[in-house]
Structure 1
Amino acid sequence: MLDLRRDPLGTFRNAQRTHGDVVRLKAGPPGLRSVFHAVFAPEDVQQILASQAANFRKDHPFYEEVRQSFGNGLLTSQDTDYLRQRRLVQPLFTKRRVDGYAAAVATEAGALADRWRTARNDTVDLVPEMNRLALRTVVRILFGLDAEEAVAAIHRCAPVINAYVVQRAYLPVKPPRRWPTPGNLRARAATDELNALCDRIVADRRAAPRTSHDPHGPSTPHVPSAPQVPSAPGSPHGRTADTPGDGHGDDDLLSLLCAAGNAEDGSLDPTEIREQVLIFLLAGHETTATSLAFTLHLLARHPHEQATVHAEIARVLGDRTPTAADLDRLPYLTQTLKEAMRLYPAAPIVSRRAVDATEIGGFRIPAGADVVVAPWVTHRNPALWEDPERFDPRRFAPEREAERHRYAWFPFGGGPRACIGQHFSMLESVLALATLLRSYELEAVDQEVPVAAGITLQATGPARVRLRPRDGAGE
Structure 2
Amino acid sequence: MTATESARPGKRGGTGRGTGTGAEAPRLAGVPLLGSLLDLTSDSLGTYLRARGEHGDVVRITAGPPGLRTELHCVFSAEGVQQVLASQAANFRKDNAVYQEVRDSFGNGLLTSQDEDYLRQRRLVQPLFTKRRVDGYAGAVAAETASTLAGWDRAPDGVVDVSDAMMELALRAVARILFGTDVDTTVDVVDRCFPVITRYVLRRGYSPANFPRSWPTPGNRRAAAALDELYGVCDEIIARRRRDLAATGATGATGSGTDTDTGATTAAAAGTAPGAVTAPGAAPGEDLLSLLAAATSADDAEFDDTELREQVLIFLLAGHETTATSLSFSLHLLARHPELQDRARAEIAAVLGGRTPGAADLDRLPYLTQVLKEAMRLYPAAPVMGRRSVDAAEIDGHAVPAGADVILAPWVTHRHPRYWPDPERFDPDRFTPEAEAARPRYAWFPFGGGPRACIGQHFSMLESVIALAMILREYTFEAVDTEIAVSAGITLTTTGPARCRIRRVDA
Query: TM-score scaled by structure 1?
Result: 0.93
Shift of 1:339: 0.2
Cα separation, 1, equivalents of 2:250 and 2:415: 48
8 Å contact 1:351–1:372 — kept in the other structure? yes
Mean CA deviation greater in 405-414 or 154-163: 154-163
SS where residue 181 of structure 2 aligns? coil
* Alignment coverage as a number of residue pairs: 458
The aligned residue for residue 82 of structure 1 is 118
Give 2:27's aligned residue: none
**Residue 433 (structure 2) aligned to one of 391, 398, 402:** 398
Separation (CA, whole Å) in 2 of partners of 1:269 and 1:83 = 16
- Which residue in the other structure is 1:228 paired with? none
CA contact (8 A) 1:342 1:411 kept: yes
Aligned to 1:426: 461
Counterpart selection for 1:192 from 228, 237, 240: 228
1: CA distance, partners of 2:384 / 2:223: 23
How far apart are the structure 2 equivalents of 1:95 and 1:35?
A: 41
The correspondence of residues 28-427 of structure 1 with structure 2, limited to 5 A, is 28-145=64-181, 147-209=183-245, 217-219=249-251, 221-224=253-256, 231-234=257-260, 248-427=283-462
**For the residues of structure 2 that align with 1:246 and 1:54, how far apart are their CA atoms?**
37
Cα distance change of structure 1 residues 149 and 220 upon mapping to structure 2, 3 Å threshold: closer
Shift of the alpha carbon at 1:132?
0.3
Distance 1:221 1:443 in 2: 45
* Residue identity in the other structure for 1:218: A
What value does the CA root-mean-square deviation take over the aligned residues? 1.7
Aligned-pair CA distance for 1:119:
3.5
Residue 175 of structure 1 and its aligned partner are, at CA, apart by: 1.7
SS in 1 for 2:59: strand
Change beyond 3 A, Cα 1:246–1:7: closer
Any gaps of 5 or more consecutive residues in structure 2? 1-36, 267-279
Q: Is the 8 A contact 2:133 2:262 kept in 1?
A: no
- More off after superposition, 114-123 vs 459-468: 114-123
| Letter of the 1:374 counterpart | A
Name the CA distance, whole Å, in 2 between partners of 1:448 and 1:233: 44
Are the counterparts in 2 of residues 37 and 369 from structure 1 also a CA contact under 8 Å? yes
Q: Secondary structure at the match of 1:147?
A: helix
- Counterpart residue number, 2:10: none
Q: SS state of the match for residue 160, structure 1?
A: helix
Contact 2:59 2:73 in 1 (8 A): yes
Q: Distance in 1 between matches of 2:214 and 2:88?
A: 37
Residue 246 to residue 32, structure 1, CA distance change in 2 (3 Å): closer
How far is the alpha carbon of 1:223 from its aligned partner? 3.4
Identity of aligned residues (%): 64
Q: CA deviation at 1:208?
A: 2.0
Whether the 8 Å contact between 1:232 and 1:242 is mirrored in structure 2 is no
Q: TM-score, normalised by structure 2?
A: 0.88
- Structure 1 residue matching 2:325: 3-state secondary structure: helix
CA distance in 1, matches of 2:189, 2:143: 22
1:170 alignment partner AA: Y
CA-CA distance at 1:46 after TM superposition: 0.5
For residues 463 and 46 of structure 1, the distance between their equivalents in structure 2, rounded to whole angstroms, comes to 34
Structure possessing the higher relative contact order (Cα contacts under 8 Å, 6 or more residues apart): 2
SS at structure 2 position matched to 1:208? helix
Deviation of 1:117 (Å): 2.2
Classify 1:319/1:241 alpha carbon distance in 2 versus 1 (closer, same or farther; 3 Å): closer
Distance 1:281 1:33 in 2: 33
Distance in 2 of aligned mates of 1:162 and 1:145: 26
Per-residue CA distance 1:177-221 (angstroms, 9 max, x = gap): 111111111111111111111111101111125797xxxx53364
Q: Which amino acid aligns with 2:144?
A: E
SS in 1 for 2:362: helix
Change (3 A) 1:117 1:59: same
- Matched residues in 1 for 2:382 and 2:485: separation? 16
Higher mean alpha-carbon deviation, 32-41 vs 200-209, is at 200-209
Native 8 Å contact 1:136 1:146 kept in 2: no
**Contact conserved, 2:125 with 2:292, CA < 8 A, in 1?**
yes
The SS at the match of 1:25 is: strand
User: Structure 1 CA distance, aligned partners of 2:385 and 2:258?
Assistant: 29
Distance 1:92 1:241 in 2: 10
Distance 1:49 1:33 in 2: 25
1-structure distance, mates of 2:79, 2:98: 24
SS at 1:144's partner residue?
A: helix
